[in-house]
Structure 1
């Protein structure tokens, strides 16, 4: 138990630190070779913040811990919207100006609906997983198309400012990219092992551990990037990172894990966790799409998100020990 706790306490911060170095290195190298800031932002930064989720879920699937793999992905989606955007909006209300984000929000809602429909039979089969990866390829193609068009957009300007703030030589960035990837793999294995041991010791399901400790932990890069973005006045970047991460979690993280090991869940996962994920995505869509007003997430709405996340977490804790 002591070793398992240490594995979580050491593995999680190393995981987050290495993810930041990996994403930063990849973005800087791509920028050096002339890739457009919008394409770097949408592919590397937007999706790359989900690097902890995908590595953790891959190792969880390999070890047969499907509860951690699926709980980590969907739990991170819930935390990204309710906790991270909620806290960010409380600190500084978020205004949505980017037309790209307004196009991404309906796509995210559709992807979330598709994911909920897939889990309706309490199973994510290999066919389900491959269909998720197929949609991910389409999403990548759409992102590349918009990134290469180079259209003027508020999100593109914010990505440009963020990427060009990174200093250092190409050699240094390549070194951090490789080191970050290696540490991501090592810390993910450590974290999954520790989480499984702790779950076994307390007699709770690995799904609950995936939805709480691991989901919140692997969502910390999104929290850091969103807080830094609003501090700089880059509101669209704060929303864009979360939308990109949730798309990646739903399609790529679950898709890759499902091809390794088909995943079966209990009915409570569908009626509690998947429904909370779907409801929070609908709320984000309503607040940020800007029907008859500018899209925004104000302090009151952010506070409601955080309260909803607190209630959801309490629900999980009750379920774990009843």
Structure 2
């Protein structure tokens, strides 16, 4: 049984790697037509958020609002710590540069996410996610799409093959809707056989599994070109912006829920988000900052394990 699960896990990792490679290739092609922001932040961010979106929709329809909330925000801490940290290390190893210099264009993602974070903090203070908070949460994403479109209109286009780019992105992204589910289930089955605690599964194992494809896509982008580091970061922020705005809005528009039971986790998301925004504020990610994010992740997990036990 265990060997069958391990073989299944290996096969799924290979499939996810292939999907990530296709998505990265498609994104690079779409960049030529739409620019990094729309290609990385909007299109790739949307595709990467599809699994969470579907889970949230099904959870809301079934009245499982706690699951919906967890699915919407599950990867924020991991992606903004381990994800960005690993990107900085990979960049250093590949290009022998201790600093990732991000394009000025990433300010759109930065400002949009900052707006969303402020509204998210207001929701935490209020203690509930309801119809009115949901409407407010939609505004940063609407602003983001508007700014991206406006920026696209003013950019000089190189001219890429849009059909080819979309084909690659969809060919890699759509199967992830199904692959991700089985991958996470397999991870949980393997962990259960090894008698890992449910808390460890929820806090550590499941988020890593859920965000694997996004990290693999970032790896492929960076290995292809140093300038694609900006695209990778746009994807990280764009996908989590969508989760914090659109997905939370779906929940709030459907049902008023209390945020008090998840207060510790939500506060950690805020803390990690603030620290991450602080790091990328000057559009430079230094290797020591990337390494520090690993420590922040370890601390976050330790806090969750300590107070969730």
Q: TM-score range by the shorter chain?
A: 0.7 to 0.9
Q: Which residue of 1 aligns with 2:114?
A: 109
Whether the 8 Å CA contact 1:75–1:212 is kept in 2: the answer is no
Match of 1:303 among 286, 291, 297: 291
**Aligned-partner Cα distance in 2 for 1:36–1:13:** 30
Q: Which residue of 2 aligns with 1:125?
A: 130
Q: Which residue of 2 aligns with 1:79?
A: 78
Residue 78 of structure 1, CA deviation: 1.3
Unmatched 5+ stretches in structure 2: 93-97
**Aligned-partner Cα distance in 1 for 2:179–2:253:** 22
Tell me the secondary structure at the aligned position of residue 63 of structure 2. coil
Tell me the secondary structure at the aligned position of residue 49 of structure 1. helix
Distance 1:257 1:202, change over 3 A: farther
Q: Which residue of 2 aligns with 1:255?
A: 249
Distance 1:25 1:64, change over 3 A: farther
**Aligned-partner Cα distance in 2 for 1:241–1:176:** 13
Whether the 8 Å CA contact 2:23–2:169 is kept in 1: the answer is no
Unmatched 5+ stretches in structure 1: none
**Aligned-partner Cα distance in 2 for 1:317–1:99:** 38
Question: TM-score scaled to structure 1, two decimals?
Answer: 0.71
Match of 2:212 among 213, 220, 230: 220
Residue 23 of structure 1, CA deviation: 5.3
**Aligned-partner Cα distance in 2 for 1:17–1:65:** 31
Distance 1:78 1:259, change over 3 A: same
Question: TM-score scaled to structure 2, two decimals?
Answer: 0.74
Residue 233 in 1 paired to residue 232 in 2?
no
Residue 302 of structure 1, CA deviation: 1.3
Q: Which residue of 1 aligns with 2:259?
A: 265
**Aligned-partner Cα distance in 2 for 1:256–1:21:** 31
Distance 1:49 1:316, change over 3 A: same
CA deviation string 1:80-124 (max 9, x = no partner):
111110122133245234111134323322211211211323321
Q: Which residue of 1 aligns with 2:57?
A: 58
**Aligned-partner Cα distance in 1 for 2:69–2:14:** 22
Tell me the secondary structure at the aligned position of residue 95 of structure 1. strand
Whether the 8 Å CA contact 1:56–1:192 is kept in 2: the answer is no
> More deviation in 189-198 or 82-91?
189-198
Residue 177 in 1 paired to residue 170 in 2?
yes
Whether the 8 Å CA contact 1:19–1:180 is kept in 2: the answer is yes
Residue 36 in 1 paired to residue 24 in 2?
no
Distance 1:187 1:67, change over 3 A: farther
Residue 299 of structure 1, CA deviation: 2.0
**Aligned-partner Cα distance in 2 for 1:187–1:138:** 32
Q: Which residue of 2 aligns with 1:145?
A: 150
